[in-house]
Amino acid sequence: MEMASRIPELFGCMVFGDKEMKARLPEEIYTTLRHTIRRGTPLNIDIANPVAEAMKCWAMELGATHFTHWFQPLNGITAEKHDSFIEPGEDGQVIMKFSGKSLVRGEPDASSFPNGGLRATFEARGYTAWDPTSSAFVRDKTLYIPTAFCSFSGEALDAKTPLLRSMECLRRSARRLMSLFGKTGIGTINPTVGAEQEYFLIPQELYDERPDLRLCDRTLFGAPPPKSQALSEHYFGAIKPRVKAFMDELDLELWKLGVMAKTEHNEAAPCQHELAPIFCTTNMACDHNQLTMEMMKRVARKHGLVCILHEKPFFCVNGSGKHNNWSIATSHGINLLEPGDSPADNAQFLLFLTAVIAAVDEYADLLRISVANASNDHRLGANEAPPAILSMFLGDELTEILDCLAEGRPYDKHENSRLDIGVGVLPKFPKDNTDRNRTSPFAFTGNKFEFRMLGSGCSIADANVVLNTIVSEILDRFSDRLETADDFNGEVTAIAQETYRAHKRIVFNGNGYSEEWRQEAARRGLHNYATAAEAIPHLEDPENVAVFEKHGIYTAAELHSRCEIMLDAVAKGIEVEAKTMLEMTERDILPAVLAYTDHLAAGLANKKSLRLPCRAESALAETLCSLSDEIYAAAEALKAEMKKAAALEDMAARARAYSDNVRGAMAALRAVADQAETQTASDYWPYPSYTDILFYR
């Protein structure tokens, strides 16, 4: 009871937010800082000094002795290097100091982070720069300063820099279009995001017994349990007390850090859960999602559990994803993807809507690439996550409205109204789109789009960089036309009609898991890149480089480096899994099967000498003998594929070889080993089974 009433006061208590700034900074400094934060403009050092001092005093009151520039290098997670506040004072004493310079800029060595060749061509060292649009916070006696990470010549070496660039770009393009509708004084425009996060929780002692989980965060072996999610009893089911205790603590820790954790529930698979926060500005949402993932892992440990964020930890049960709910809002709280009440508002909504449709269709490959990694390959297209084919769900009603508009048909047959924009007869758009389609990768859900292809473990930055950029591109094309149009309303109608006609093929409201859709999508000419290795090289296709360069998001060199980093991560990730499989096979699995076979053989000999019936032993021993031979052969075959893949010089070819051939050999090895598991006495089997792990108490 007492705790509950304190939550409003505890919320954000570890964050240097607006309340603290206002209370601790001279008014003039506060106003300038607010301006910087709103506009995303650079911060003057004269302002940085007093801000740093105020931050330090605040952080020290919360017990902080250190500060760190917190950044997001290209390995999908976050990095930090801690420095204490101490500086030498007089007479061998120390003082606690934090300068404006230390706040705005840090210089970590960039050489050990992925840079995809940018280091060789430019400089080894990188620098971190404070992102004042995301709040500093205190954790573990340390003041965390969210920063962007670049090379000395300005190339982005992180996930945040391009995200901030893309937000600025969308801000500009949306404002331009809005001003054509006479909308000025609308405040700052920003993309908003709410990222729903799925995860697994399993007992720590079982996790510790499995090298595959410890090293790869997923099981590489494991026969399917007799029961999995077939009975649909876990989804939204009652939450185990142990898990509930975890969720309560997680919520509290996140609230203190200003993360608006809102919804917690059990997901479809056993041991699988979800957390959804309340949406906020994109780069905050991105930082918050990283914090959420880190906090999940930490808090789980305190409850004797391990949080698994891998996209597919268990074969035969659903994997975990992340839903990126995306919209565009003004700082006055107007959602630009909210269907309006008046014809003019509807016209504006229609342009934003058709812009997103065109963007997703034209740059579907970029969206696919933004979620491409080796682990997500296990989900996309596996009848549990959206398919690898991008399509858009609009719902029947909105689709019908757009069809009518494009074909010049009346929408509301009774009133025989025509769909001219600006003449007061545009139908009221359906606001609450409850017609949900869970199989769609990209769904319009009433006043926002939900991009559902993201893997659970990946940063949401890449997907949002792409979304912001491609939507900006289309909005700009619309503005180009509208700025020179003689008949504004006529041009709005023409743009909406032409755009929808040209990009209608991306709209699909049916079952995205079906084989018919796969065939239909191929007929419509939509991309279907089944694996990350296949998708990633298209990042460097000319039209993709062009759109990023045009909007100042990535240079061609930055894109090339990102392509190399992503392909390398595919190859290396699979290599680690293959090596782990071999180690498990040779050191644990084969010895276990052979030992149990020996045990059977000894019993068999005994029984034979006593002339006792021994058909069970005989049959079992025979099965296990052939399985051990097959396991051995499959392991050798895997080694051969690994050798071939590792020898390939070309990065794309190497990633393809790991993705197709090494993974193929891994699947073959797993199949025989899993069969052996079902035939080997559990006392002999070296690892906890799927039943042990997934159905813990």
Binding stretches for ligand ADP (CB under 6 A): 192-194, 196, 263, 276-279, 323, 325-327, 335, 447-448, 450
* Nearest position to Mg ion, beta carbon: 323
* Nearest position to ligand ADP, beta carbon: 194
Residue 424 identity (one-letter amino acid): G
Q: Give the torsion sign (CA, 72, 76, 81, 85).
A: positive
Secondary structure class of 525 (helix, strand, coil): coil
Residue 452 identity (one-letter amino acid): R
259 binds, among ligand ADP, Mg ion, none (CB under 5 to 8 A by kind): none
Q: Which stretch binds Mg ion (CB under 5 A): 68-76, 260-268, 316-324, 335-343?
A: 316-324
State the burial class of residue 424 (Cβ atoms within 10 Å of its Cβ: 0-12, 13-18, 19+). exposed
278 binds, among Mg ion, ligand ADP, none (CB under 5 to 8 A by kind): ligand ADP
Residue indicated by tokens 């500009």 = 172
CB of 507 to ligand ADP, least distance (A): 20
Interior/surface letters 477-488, b for 16+ CB within 10 angstroms, e for the rest: ebbeebeeeeeb
Q: Which is nearer to ligand ADP, 293 or 627 (CB)?
A: 293
The torsion of the CA quartet 575, 578, 584, 586, rounded to 10 degrees, works out to -110
Helix axes 45-61, 27-39, angle to 10 degrees: 100
Q: Which stretch binds Mg ion (CB under 5 A): 320-328, 346-354, 431-439, 678-686?
A: 320-328
558 binds, among ligand ADP, Mg ion, none (CB under 5 to 8 A by kind): none
How many whole angstroms separate alpha carbon 272 and alpha carbon 120?
Answer: 43
How many whole angstroms separate alpha carbon 7 and alpha carbon 255?
Answer: 8
How many whole angstroms separate alpha carbon 268 and alpha carbon 577?
Answer: 26
Contact call for residue 322 and Mg ion (CB under 5 A)? no
Q: Within 181-200, which residues bind Mg ion (CB under 5 A)?
A: 196
Q: Which is nearer to Mg ion, 168 or 384 (CB)?
A: 384
Q: Which stretch binds Mg ion (CB under 5 A): 2-10, 37-45, 315-323, 360-368?
A: 315-323
Angle subtended at Cα 20 by Cα 150 and Cα 247, rounded to the nearest 5 degrees = 80
When binding is defined by CB under 5 A, the residue of 119, 175, 323, 560 that contacts Mg ion is 323
Q: Which is nearer to ligand ADP, 276 or 631 (CB)?
A: 276
CB count within 10 Å of CB 26 equals 10
Q: Which is nearer to ligand ADP, 450 or 473 (CB)?
A: 450
Q: Which is nearer to ligand ADP, 116 or 321 (CB)?
A: 321
Q: Which is nearer to Mg ion, 260 or 557 (CB)?
A: 260
Angle subtended at Cα 583 by Cα 579 and Cα 589, rounded to the nearest 5 degrees = 135
CB of 640 to ligand ADP, least distance (A): 45
CB of 383 to ligand ADP, least distance (A): 19
How many whole angstroms separate alpha carbon 77 and alpha carbon 441?
Answer: 24
Closest CA to 635 of 688, 580, 567: 580
Helix (H) or strand (E) holding 121: helix 118-121
CB of 289 to ligand ADP, least distance (A): 10
Do 119 and 26 form a contact (C-beta atoms < 8 A)? no
Residue indicated by tokens 């982070």 = 113
270 binds, among ligand ADP, Mg ion, none (CB under 5 to 8 A by kind): none
CB of 277 to ligand ADP, least distance (A): 6
Q: Which is nearer to Mg ion, 214 or 438 (CB)?
A: 438
Q: Which is nearer to ligand ADP, 173 or 327 (CB)?
A: 327
CB of 282 to ligand ADP, least distance (A): 9
134 binds, among Mg ion, ligand ADP, none (CB under 5 to 8 A by kind): none
List interacting residues with Mg ion (CB under 5 A): 196, 323
